[in-house]
Amino acid sequence: MKKRVLITGAAGFLGSHLCDRFLMEGFHVIGMDNLLTGNLENIEHLFPNPHFEFYHHDVSKFVHVPGELHYILHFASPASPIDYLKLPIQTLKVGAMGTHNLLGLAKAKKARILVASTSEVYGDPEVHPQSEEYWGHVNPIGPRGVYDEAKRYQEAITMAYHRVHGLETRIVRIFNTYGPRMRLDDGRVLPAFMSQALRGEDLTVFGDGSQTRSFCYVDDLIEGIFRLLMSDYPYPVNIGNPEEITIKEFAEEIIRLTGSRSKISYQPLPQDDPKQRRPDITKAREILGWEPKIGRSEGLRRTLEYFKAKVLPIHS
């Protein structure tokens, strides 16, 4: 009998890569997505696989999965600023009610559950780099608060289920990740820069471009998540790449990589936009034996191939 895993947000960027990985590891995968921001194109290659099934469902409503369930990975949520600013209530509901429903399902099925948290729980950090012990600097009523607080609540209720019901829980705090299957229009810096460069448009940099980010290639992230799920550590773990770069330098890197004639266009910085973002991955190294393996130049090269196929047909 194959172990059965439920992956919510299965048609999204990370969810679809998780489906691939768990099928490769010999699991029976149940994908669930309401397709609010996910795309069936990301998982259509899995439909012929007899060990994959798909439920079109919103986890903010009651979740039922027949039969045994060994693992749940909760990745359902709008995850980019453009999405959660447009869908603030749905973002809060999936973080609160969706997580509650899935924790209840995990309890009923005696399944281990891993929830996808985010570096956004640190807000605009006053501590650098960010370790799991840092409590964050978040504006709960700002426009980004709907995502930040949804994820902070998600962590709180997950730990409550762990402490009260003895549920096997895992929490991953995901830092900036990139790779194939990112949406071109999702508003995040990498898809925006790559799309603009490939179309010969100016790259939009907010503020003076001195704010920093650290970018982790998707395959590295999925490996970290898999190791965390299979570990016995119930507390949050940062998974990301600690190699930091300014947004201005990153824009210049994308222009060089694409061979584009694009210039950089500067726009005002959005409210509560974090100035620095870099994970302290000491825990991931010590507990999971994990660290990123794929450098930015290799990861960007792989991602560019995907974006070329998506952007250039639009351009022609």
Instruction: Report the C-alpha gap between 226 and 228 in whole angstroms.
Output: 5
**Is 161 among the catalytic positions?**
no
**Proportion of the chain in helix, strand, coil states, percent, rounded to 5:** 40, 20, 40
The amino acid occupying position 4 is R
Instruction: Report the C-alpha gap between 123 and 140 in whole angstroms.
Output: 10
Which DSSP state fits 137?
A: B
Assigned token pair, 120: 């956004």
**CA trace torsion 94, 96, 100, 106 (10° rounding):** 60
Q: Determine if the peptide bond prior to 129 is cis (ω within 30°).
A: yes
Sign of CA dihedral 115, 121, 122, 124: positive
Given 147, 161, 178, 217, the catalytic residue: 147
Supply the Cα-derived Rg of the chain in whole angstroms.
19
Which DSSP state fits 205?
A: E
- Which residues are tagged catalytic? 147
